[in-house]
Amino acid sequence: MIRVKMTENGVEMHGHAGHGKNGQDLVCAAISALTCSLINSLNALAEEKIEAVVASGSTAIRWQKLSDKGKLLVDSWFLAMMSINDKYNCIEIT
In this prediction, residue 80 carries a pLDDT of 98
Per the structure, the count of domains in the chain is 1
- Supply φ then ψ for residue 23, to 5 degrees: 85, -10
Strand 58-63 to 91-93 pairing: unpaired
In this prediction, residue 20 carries a pLDDT of 82
In this prediction, residue 72 carries a pLDDT of 98
Kindly report the CATH number assigned to the domain that includes residue 42.
3.30.70.1490
21 — pLDDT class (breaks 50, 70, 90)? confident
Long-range CB pairs of 12-18, under 8 A, 24+ apart, other chains included? 12/59, 12/60, 12/61, 13/58, 13/59, 13/60, 14/57, 14/58, 15/57, 16/57, 17/88, 17/90, 18/90
Residue 22 resides in a domain: yes
Helical pair 68-88 and 26-44, crossing angle rounded to 10 deg: 180
Residue 94 resides in a domain: no
Residue 39 resides in a domain: yes
Residue 74 resides in a domain: yes
Count of Cβ atoms closer than 10 Å to residue 1 Cβ: 11
28-66 residue pLDDT tens: 999 999 999 999 999 999 999 999 999 989 999 999 999
Task: Say whether pLDDT at 74 is over 90.
Answer: yes
Question: Residues 6 or more apart from 46 whose CB is under 8 A from it?
Answer: 66, 67, 69, 70, 73
In this prediction, residue 23 carries a pLDDT of 78
Domain containing residue 66:
2-89
